[in-house]
Every structure is written in C-alpha cells, then in structure tokens.
Amino acid sequence: MTRTVTAEASTDRLIEFSGVSRVYGKGAAAVTAVDDVSFGVDRGEVFGVIGFSGAGKSTLIRMINGLEKPTSGTVTVLGLEVSRLSERRLPKLRARIGMVFQQFNLFTSRNVAGNVAYPLKVAGWSRSERDARVTELLEFVGLSDKAGHYPEQLSGGQKQRVGIARALAAEPDILLADESTSALDPATTTEVLRLLRRANEELGITIVAITHEMEVIRSIADRVAVMDSGRIIETGTAHDLFSDPGDGEGSFVATALKDRPDADDLARIRRHTAGRLVTVSLADAGGVGRVLGSAANHGVSFEIVHGGLSTTKSSSYGLLTLAVEGAADAVEGFVVELRGVGQVREVQA
Amino acid sequence: MIGIVDAYRELDWGYYGPELLTATWETLYLVAGSFLIGGFIGLLLGVTLYTTRSGGVLANRPMWLLTNFVVNLIRPIPFVILVAAIQPLTIQVIGTGIGNQAVIFGMIWASTFAIGRIVEQNLFAIDPGVIEAARAMGAGRFRIILTVILPEALGPLILGFTFVIIALADMSAMAGIIGGGGLGNFAIVEGYQRFRTEVIWLAVVVIIILVQLVQIVGNMLARKVMRR
C-alpha cells in the first residue's frame, strides 16, 4: 500500500526534494542509495524519515546541507538550489542549517564551551557575542556547569546535548538530526527527544529527523516519510501512519510497531482462546471504551489478546486485536459497532 | 671496574672535554636545523597526502598521485647514499657539498618525506565524523585543516615528531661522511679510529641523555594535549 500526500505549493516551504536520486559507483556495481524521491518540509515542522538501516536515509539527509550531491533531481533549501551550489558557496547555506549526529562528533580538542562556540567563530561572531550565546545555549540544554569539561568527561546523553547546543548555536532555520538517539539508552533518548521538541516549539526551528526508532517519530514528528530501498514508500502525518500502519508483508511500520500479532503470536493466542479474531485500528482512542463496554449488551465476551493504545505528538491512536466469543450473530453485531470507532480487519489464524 | 674508572681518570679532559662539548652543540645544530625546516615541509606534505586523497577536504587525485609518488621515490633511499647522491644539488643550493650545512640540507630531504608519512598516518586516526561536523557548520576547507584536523591529531603528531627528532639524531651521526661534525663524527674520529673505546662511550652517553630528554619532553607535551 502506498499513500502520498500531494505537496501543496507553500510559500513557507523550507526544503523541497524533486525527483532526487543518488547513485554510487558505475555500471554493474552501481548502487542506488536514493531513488526518485520527492517531498517537501514546511517552516516549523518536524519531519521524520524512518526506515531500516541501509534504506538511504543518511544520504537523503546529507543532501539537504550539500554533504552529498544528488545524481539527478533537484534539492531546494531556503530558496537555494543546493544541488547546484559550488563548494565555495555551500558554507553560507550550511551556516543556516544545524546538524546533530548519531556519534555526536564533538571536537575532542575543544571543551564543551569551545564546541558550542565553533560554529559561531565560523559565522564570524565577536568574542563577547560568542560568550553570551554559549552561556545561553548551555543553559537551554541544561549543561551550564559543564562548560569547561571535555567530551570524554561526559555521558552519551550529555554529549548529545552539547551536540544539540552546537547545532543550534548559529541560530539556524533548520536542524538535521541524523539518528540522534540511536547510540543512547531509552532514558537518555527521552531526554534528548524532549530537548529536540523544545527546540522546535520554543525556538520555532524546523527539524528533519532520520531514524530507525519508532519512538523518535512517535514523540516528535508531525509528518513522516517511510523509506525502503532508497524510495519513499509512504508519507503522511505521524498520526495516520501509526493509526493505520498498512499490512504489507515487511512493512517497516507494521514490523517496527509490532502492533499486530505475527504467526508465532497467533499460534500462542489460539492455544488459549477461541472465538473470532479481529484487529481494530483506532484513529482516535477516545470512543473505544464505550464500544467495548457494550459487549455484554450484545451477549458476547471478548479478550484483548494483542496491541494497545498510545499517543503521537498530537493525538492518541491504537491497534487492538480482540478475540470475541459468542453466538455468530451476536459477534457480528458487536463487530459492526466496532466499525463505528475504527477500521476492523479479520485475523486469519 | 677499576680499569674503566682509571681509563676515564687518565683521559686527557683538557682536550676531550671541549671537543665533546663542541660535538654536542654540532649535533643539536644539525638536528634542530633539519627538524625546523624538514618538520614544516613534512607537515605540509603529510597534510597534502591526507587531504587530497579521495574523500578528503581537498580531494584532488592528480595532486595526491604526484605527492604519493614523490614520497615513495625519495623515502626508500638510505641516508648515507642520499647525501652523496644529492651533492651536486647541495653545492648549488648551499654553496658547498661538505660541512654541517650540507649535512642539514641532506637531512632535510630525508626527514621531510619521513615526516610526511608519519603526519599522514596520524591524521588517518582522526574520526571523519568531526570533519563532517565542521563541514556541516559551514567551515571552509582551510579552516577545517587548521582548526579541526591538526588540533584533533595534535597529541599523536607530537609523539610522531618526537620520534622524528630521535631519528634525526641517528642520521646526524653519519655527518662525518661529508665533513660534518657532531657526536657521531666525534665517536668515530676521536674514538674508533684511535682504538679508544672509552671515548666512543663518552659520545654514546651524551646521545642517550639527549634522546631521553627529547622523549620525556615529547611524552609530557603529548600527555598534556591528550589530557591523559
């Protein structure tokens, strides 16, 4: 299943990919890392790109600041065609785009303050302006007491917070997050994601985040593109994606969410429960309680055998697999009522 | 043991003392002169090798091929042969083919290419991620070389240069071949050729002390830079 949201031409479109491909190598050994990709990102948005590793996400994000060049197609960022800028003219654009890396990439020869000040030096800020900005940023990321520390004295989460402070230093319009939490543990991930969210909400910065972690998309993304083998196979709001993740074999979202029972799960479920198995996708988790509560009125009983409810940045969604027992007519009546609150699919066991 | 002590007690210190001092100064002169110039050119050469390679900040294949070829051409030539082989050039540049300055000229050639490789190897150890980070911030290529690449590799570079200084002390011992001085020449002329082992050992002890000092200072600096 492939869905695309047609890009409305917008005056506040900061990033536009149009038919972009990137091929490495030549002839028989050629590898297409990015394959005919088109999408746009508007000002103030958090745009997530998710996919398995090797899907081309890294190449994709690096084409935004010109670290990689497309083989064909155009990449337009902040009104400039990046794909055409010379190495000489790229720095000016790059100064307006911050980047956060999976391995943090802090300068080991500089302390925390020195790392954050570096992009400001590049941008030509004066000494006193730099000092003031560094103080402000370290406060923003909660590391004011670590200004004189060197990277090796920091934990992974602290390093990434320095990375974020450094990326935000020169007041960029866009922040690129390249697997920014993939090297971190779950607790630290939450901390870093909260910080990215604050950067978006309080500073109004537009974020493009590539990741293989659903958690990142769920907690910060407004819109999402799903990438597989170099292509964008699905685009939509985070909410659409999670509430109806599609059921194609090997679908990244379905696999990553693990919200539907797989064959092993079904075998286990079947051992313990009888009845008709249905999966309900809820675009809004709100109304489901009332319907489930009506089971007794229909004369059926049910058990939730898989799935659950969760939230994205802006809404709730859910995917529940139920085993419903009772007279066939009664079960059908109950299922009809379920259709009123979500999309219902039969599960073959 | 008494024999050794007696040998040094009976040594004509009025003659060997000043000779040894002069030879020590000459060694320091040979090493310092060739290191200052060879170290600088070698650094440029190493940075060129590292940055012009494909994927480097100044990626330029013809430039890399040329530099790499020249380094591989000069580096294998043994020092004794090199100083003799380049003598016509030495005469052109220095004005004479013999003496300490001619030796320094030869040592510069030998050390430049060795340092080039050592610098290149140490730069390889830098995490490419930090260079990418600097590029992403809009830093220009020469700024990246000066403010990221060299500072990130500074600790290992100091150790590499320390190694080179010691190798130069080794080379300087052959200065006598083309009429240069120094501790090597002193050990051969005053000691070996006159069957005076105790005189050879005087030079050996001074060289050991010099090398130890250089190594200690190098280690200290490197440790300070690497904060270990």
CB pairs under 8 A between A and B: 68
Cα B132 from Cα B147, distance rounded (Å): 13
Residues of B in contact with A99 (CB under 8 A): 133, 136-137
pLDDT on residue B1: 59
pLDDT above 90 (res A21) = yes
Residues of B in contact with A170 (CB under 8 A): 137
CB contact under 8 A, A67 and B129: no
- Taking alpha carbons only, the member of A231, A232, A207, A234 closest to residue A221 is A207
* Cβ atoms A70, A19 nearer than 8 A: no
* Cβ atoms B52, B66 nearer than 8 A: no
pLDDT above 60 (res A5) = no
Return the residue of B nearest to A150 by Cα: B227
Can you read off the two tokens belonging to residue A169? 């230093």
Low-confidence ranges of chain B (pLDDT < 50): none
pLDDT tens string A273-294: 888 888 888 877 777 888 888 8
* Cβ atoms B117, B71 nearer than 8 A: yes
Helix (H) or strand (E) holding B223: helix B197-226
Q: Any residues with CB less than 8 A from the CB of B226 and at least 6 apart, and which?
A: B155
- Taking alpha carbons only, the member of A339, A324, A312 closest to residue A243 is A312
| Three-class HEC string of A265-331 | HHHHHHHHCCCEEEEEEECCHHHHHHHHHCHHHHCCEEEEEEEEEEECCCCEEEEEEEEEECCHHHH
* Cβ atoms A157, A192 nearer than 8 A: yes
pLDDT on residue A312: 79
**Concatenated DSSP letters for B110-128?**
HHHHHHHHHHHHHHHTS-H
Cα A260 from Cα B49, distance rounded (Å): 55
Rounded to whole angstroms, what are the CA distances from A221 to A15, A313, B110, B135, B208? 16, 7, 59, 26, 65
pLDDT above 50 (res A8) = no
pLDDT on residue B227: 84
Q: Which residue in the set A87, A101, A152 is minimally distant from B129, CB to CB? A: A101
Band (pLDDT 50/70/90 cuts) for residue A154 is: very high
Most confident of A17-31, A230-244, B32-46: B32-46
pLDDT above 90 (res A108) = yes
- Taking alpha carbons only, the member of A155, A121, A127, A142 closest to residue B151 is A121
Helix (H) or strand (E) holding B28: helix B13-52
Say which amino acid occupies A137: L
Q: What are phi and psi of A246, to 5 degrees?
A: 75, 165
Average pLDDT, integer, range A175-182: 95
CB contact under 8 A, A119 and B138: yes
Beta bridge partners of A324: A276, A302
Cα A273 from Cα A269, distance rounded (Å): 6
SS3 B173: coil
CB contact under 8 A, B136 and A122: no
Q: Which residue in the set B138, B141, B148 is minimally distant from A95, CB to CB? A: B138
Tokens 């030869």 sit at which residue? B106
A99 at the B interface (CB within 8 A)? yes
Average pLDDT, integer, range A103-120: 97
CB contact under 8 A, B129 and A99: no
* Alpha helical stretches, state H, B53-176: 61-74, 79-85, 87-94, 100-124, 128-136, 141-144, 150-152, 154-172
Rounded to two decimals, what is the model's pTM?
A: 0.84
Cα A154 from Cα B5, distance rounded (Å): 58
Residues of A in contact with B134 (CB under 8 A): 107, 118, 122
Cα B86 from Cα B75, distance rounded (Å): 14
The per-residue pLDDT of chain A, averaged, comes to 88
Q: What are phi and psi of B95, to 5 degrees?
A: 100, -10
Residues of B in contact with A101 (CB under 8 A): 129, 132-133
Say which amino acid occupies A337: E
- Segment B129-133 long-range contacts (CB within 8 Å, at least 24 positions apart): B129/A101, B129/A103, B129/A105, B130/A105, B130/A106, B130/A107, B130/A108, B131/B57, B132/A67, B132/A101, B132/A105, B133/A99, B133/A101, B133/A105, B133/A106, B133/A107, B133/A166
Rounded to whole angstroms, what are the CA distances from B26 to A91, B19, B40, B205, B214? 50, 11, 21, 16, 16
* Alpha helical stretches, state H, chain A: 57-62, 90-94, 112-122, 127-140, 156-168, 186-203, 214-220, 238-243, 252-257, 263-272, 288-293, 295-298, 328-339
Can you read off the two tokens belonging to residue A323? 């085993």
Touching B: A residues 165-224, CB under 8 Å:
166, 170, 176
Touching B: A residues 113-132, CB under 8 Å:
118-119, 121-123
Band (pLDDT 50/70/90 cuts) for residue A254 is: low
CB contact under 8 A, A65 and B136: yes
Average pLDDT, integer, range A15-40: 93
Cα A180 from Cα A190, distance rounded (Å): 11
Can you read off the two tokens belonging to residue B150? 């060299």
pLDDT on residue A250: 55
Q: Any residues with CB less than 8 A from the CB of B53 and at least 6 apart, and which?
A: B59, B64
pLDDT on residue A251: 64
Q: Any residues with CB less than 8 A from the CB of A90 and at least 6 apart, and which?
A: A65, A66, A82, B138
Can you read off the two tokens belonging to residue A220? 């910060």
Rounded to whole angstroms, what are the CA distances from B222 to A49, B116, B211, B215? 43, 19, 16, 10
Q: Any residues with CB less than 8 A from the CB of A321 and at least 6 apart, and which?
A: A260, A261, A269, A277, A278, A279, A280, A304, A305, A306, A307, A347
Q: Any residues with CB less than 8 A from the CB of B153 and at least 6 apart, and which?
A: B122, B123, B125, B126
Residues of B in contact with A107 (CB under 8 A): 130, 133-134, 148, 151-152
pLDDT tens string A293-330: 888 888 888 888 888 788 877 778 888 888 888 888 88
Average pLDDT, integer, range A254-276: 77
- Taking alpha carbons only, the member of A19, A14, A36 closest to residue A80 is A14
Q: CB A129: neighbour CB atoms within 10 A?
A: 12
- Taking alpha carbons only, the member of B96, B121, B124, B94 closest to residue B108 is B94
To test the contact with chain A by mutation, choose from B126, B130, B225 the residue with the greatest count of A C-beta atoms within 10 A, namely: B130
Can you read off the two tokens belonging to residue B110? 């030998």
pLDDT on residue A243: 74
Average pLDDT, integer, range A146-175: 96
Band (pLDDT 50/70/90 cuts) for residue A53 is: confident
Return the residue of A nearest to B144 by Cα: A122
Region for residue A251 given its phi and psi (left: phi exceeds 0; alpha: psi -120 to 50; beta: otherwise)? beta
Give the up-direction half-sphere exposure of residue A83: CA atoms within 13 A in the CB hemisphere: 18
Touching A: B residues 114-153, CB under 8 Å:
127, 129-130, 132-141, 143, 147-148, 151-152
pLDDT on residue A7: 45
